[in-house]
Chain A
Amino acid sequence: MSVRNQPARFESDTDEALELNFDIQGHPVRRPWWKVWSKRNNRVPWVSIFVVLFVLVLPALLADVITTHDPLRGVLADRLTPPFWMEGGTTTYPLGTDKQGRDILTRLIYGARISLTVSTITILIGAVVGSTLGLLAGYFGGWVDRFVSWLIDTFLSLPHVLLALVIVAAIGPSFVTIVAIIAVTIWASFARQVRGETLSVRETEYVARAHVAGTTSWRILLRHVLPNVANTLIVLATLQVGVVILEESSLSFIGAGIPRPNPSWGVMVADGRDQILISWWISFFPGLCILLVVLSLNLLGDWLRDFLDPKMRQRGRS
């Protein structure tokens, strides 16, 4: 950029200061994103981010490094050891052991890996399939829209757990089965949301302008509609991580999910069910993990929705 004599100034705007600075010669300098972000919204839900990071993401990524026990094979002699602060507890098993003598903490950490893998894969599938169909339905309308809407309604009205039980009964529980079942049940919420957003974006003046400019429909879909529904998509995906973790846990709890002895949080809750009054820690800690992670993801999603709303960036305008 060439050196100019006049320092650049905007006409009458107030919060350009938020995203633009001017250097000594008057060139505009975009502020680093972290400064813009922290100015734009200072109520970042740090606790939620912390929980998601330390209960879900880091354990899932580092499970092999940070655990010392075997998540699948226990020491029968140490069965039903309570957490370390209780009488009879040892720091070898900080959160105690289950009835087969497996370390609860280790199983929780490996459980995080299962939860994260399942939710990532299902949400990727669900978001790609759902938003593609939603975009097409919302943008092209007509019979495409009628067909997709019918499909969405059908899938949203299916009882998920019953469907899962039938499928598992037919082909047996496995990782692939549960991913497929959850993906089938969540694509519809993506499709419905994206279809609605697309319907409103399609009618905006900038899409009309793009038509007048001669831009093709496919290009409009990719360059104009998709970027403007992307926010919704990100927020929905975040919220759906919680839904998927809950769903996977429920299915695992009733035995239609991740097959034993894999340490899914749902499976762990189910394992401790018959000893809940004596050895409460077997069910309690995985239950607590589900609660914390799902709650945090929901709070995080709510915050993201406000944060990514373009109107937030234009506060005080129009």
Chain B
Amino acid sequence: MAEPLMVVESLSKHYPVSEGQYGGRTVGYVKAVDGVSFTIEKGRTLALVGESGCGKTTTARLVLRLRTPTGGTVKLEERDVHQLSGADLKWFRTSVQAVFQDPWASLSPRMRVRDIVAEPLVANHRVSKDEVRERVGVTLEKVGMQRWQGDLYPHEFSGGQRQRVALASALITEPRLLVLDEPVSALDVSVQAQVMNLLKDLQAELGTAFLLISHDLATVRYVADHVAVMYMGSIVESGSVDQIFETPRHPYTRGLFDAALPTHPRNRTEKLEIKGEMPSPLNPPTGCRFRTRCPQVMSICETVPETIEVAQGHRVACHLFTPEWS
């Protein structure tokens, strides 16, 4: 096992739900993220997959320190990210960068590309104008763009080019961790492959670790080393990409893969079907959160399942795998 870069432990974000005007009284909590733990290894990719609304993006925002968690810790090289200040915070801001989902929304329409790319650099370091120019040029070339394109505005680019600009901006400080929140889902399929290949090449070249948030299983399989499957704010299964894709254990994970189209029509197999919608996060089911939709639901599922290691590094939170039952 490689060295851990970021360790996330029982991270939670509960949003209070209030009634009435001007704050009013709190009537409950939406547990957007509820006790999530994972480890990102240096230079490797961890993919976080799940349906919309399962808390992937909130987790990313907590990791990026854009939101304050209500519980748990995020540690980057053993330092608690949410306790940092001053120079340590600058260190964090240069070590962790992000690429967001929508390249149409993630670049300020009023800034030139070169200022956008230079932003993480000038925000954290004292650098001369010439040096900024040089680093911007080098970084733009690294993502397959040309130097002079730095003089243009974002609206003069296509979606794939914009995502390259966002990537260049994220890479300029040579971060150790890059959080990719659905980096390609807004792009055309042909451009998706380009960007994913670019990401893989850059990882090999720079040794940056990725936290990839995605609902696209094909992308995940192509890029990720480890996968964590989220459902309603918790991780239900995690393991290496082979473990998850070859031997998925949790009924939700299996349902998720079965919902994806097979690569060949003859490969169609008996399907594990997930029925219905995700329950309201305001009023989640007791015990196992998945039991309302699970095809293999049992009476014990009304209690919260423990996370069990079914193979080296392969963890499942499901009663089907509790020793006394299997």
Is the Cβ of B157 less than 8 Å from the Cβ of A13?
A: yes
Instruction: State whether the Cβ of B94 lies closer than 8 Å to any Cβ in chain A.
Output: yes
Q: How far is the CA of A49 from the CA of B155 in the complex (A)?
A: 29
CA distance A288 to B166 in the complex (A): 54
Set B96, B108, B161: member contacting A224, Cβ < 8 A: B108
A8 touches B148 (CB 8 A): yes
Q: State A209–B102 Cα separation when bound (angstroms).
A: 12
Binds B, one of A74-82, A273-281, A293-301, A310-318: A310-318
Q: What is the bound-complex CA distance between A75 and B44, given in angstroms?
A: 92
Q: For residue A23, which residues in chain B have a CB less than 8 angstroms away from its CB?
A: none
- Contact of A13 with B158 in the complex, beta carbons under 8 Å: yes
- How near does chain A come to B225, taking the closest CB pair, in angstroms? 23
Q: Are B109 and A228 in contact (CB under 8 A)?
A: yes
Let me know if A213 and B123 touch, CB within 8 A. yes
Q: Which residues in chain B, 151-210, are within 8 Å of chain A measured between CB atoms?
A: 151-152, 155-161, 166, 169, 179
- Which B-chain residue is minimally distant from A219 (CB atoms)? B123
Complex interface residues of chain B between 101 and 128 (CB less than 8 A to chain A): 101-102, 104-111, 119-120, 123-124
Tell me if B158 and A28 are in contact (CB < 8 A). Answer: no
Residues of A within 8 A of B111 (CB): 223-224, 227
Please state if A318 and B104 are interface contacts (CB–CB under 8 Å). Answer: yes
CB <8 Å contact, B105 and A212: no
Residue of B nearest to A205 (CB): B106
Q: Is the CB of A206 within 8 A of B107?
A: yes
What is the distance, in angstroms, from B194's C-beta to the closest C-beta of chain A?
10
Among A8, A27, A214, A313, the most chain B Cβ lie within 10 Å of the Cβ of: A214
A12 to B187, CA, bound (A): 13
Query: B27 within 8 Å of A by Cβ?
Result: no
Contact check, B89 vs A11: say whether CB atoms are below 8 A apart. Answer: no
Interchain CA distance A237-B111 in the complex, whole Å: 23
Is B100's CB within 8 Å of the partner chain A?
yes
Out of A11, A208, A209, A228, name the residue touching B160 (CB < 8 Å): A11
- CB within 8 Å of B: which of A207-221? 208-216, 219
Residue B32 is within 8 A (CB to CB) of chain A in the complex: no
Contact with A along B69-89 (1 / 0, CB 8 A): 000000000000000000001
Chain B residues with CB under 8 Å of A28's CB are 148, 151-152
Our count of residue pairs bridging A and B at CB distance below 8 angstroms stands at 96
Please state if A209 and B166 are interface contacts (CB–CB under 8 Å): yes
Does B155 contact A313, Cβ atoms closer than 8 Å? Answer: yes
Contact A213 B119 (CB under 8 A): yes
- B119 & A205 in contact (Cβ 8 Å cutoff): no
Residue B66 lies at the interface, judged by CB distance under 8 Å to chain A: yes
The answer to whether B94 touches A11, judged by C-beta atoms less than 8 angstroms apart, is no
Which A residues touch B166, using CB under 8 A?
A: 209
A206–B169 Cα gap in the complex (Å)?
11
Report how far A214 CA is from B123 CA in the complex, Å: 6
User: In the complex, what's the smallest C-beta–C-beta distance from A67 to chain B, in angstroms?
Assistant: 43
Given known A-B contacts A8-B148, A11-B158, A215 and B123 have beta carbons under 8 A apart: yes
Nearest residue (CB) in B for A227 is B110
Q: Mark A247-274, 1 if CB is under 8 A from B, else 0.
A: 0000000000000000000000000000
The residue in chain B whose Cβ has the minimal distance to the Cβ of A146 is B22
B97: Cβ under 8 A from any A Cβ? yes
CA distance A223 to B89 in the complex (A): 21
In whole Å, how far is A219's beta carbon from the nearest beta carbon of chain B?
7
Is A302 part of the contact surface with B, judged by Cβ < 8 Å? no
Q: Does A34 contact B (CB under 8 A)?
A: no
* A204 proximal to B (CB < 8 A): yes
Cβ of B124 and Cβ of A205 under 8 Å apart? no
The verdict on B98 contacting chain A, using a C-beta distance below 8 Å, is yes
Asked whether, in the complex, the Cβ of A205 is within 8 Å of the Cβ of B101, the reply is: yes
With A211-B66, A227-B110 known to touch, is A1 a contact of B169 (CB < 8 Å)? no
Docked pose: A209 CA to B108 CA in angstroms = 10
> Could you give 21 example pairs across A and B, Cβ below 8 Å?
A10-B161, A13-B158, A20-B152, A205-B100, A208-B98, A209-B119, A210-B108, A210-B123, A212-B97, A213-B119, A213-B123, A214-B93, A214-B123, A215-B119, A215-B123, A219-B123, A223-B111, A224-B110, A224-B111, A230-B110, A318-B159
- List the interface of chain B (C-beta within 8 A of A): 22, 61, 64, 66, 89-90, 93-94, 96-98, 100-102, 104-111, 119-120, 123-124, 146, 148, 151-152, 155-161, 166, 169, 179
- Please name the 8 residue pairs, one residue from A and one from B, whose CB atoms are nearest each other, closest first: A214-B93, A227-B110, A213-B120, A205-B106, A214-B123, A205-B100, A206-B108, A215-B123
- Besides A208-B98, A215-B119, A313-B155, 8 more A-B contacts (Cβ < 8 Å) are A10-B157, A205-B105, A206-B105, A206-B107, A210-B123, A212-B98, A214-B90, A216-B123
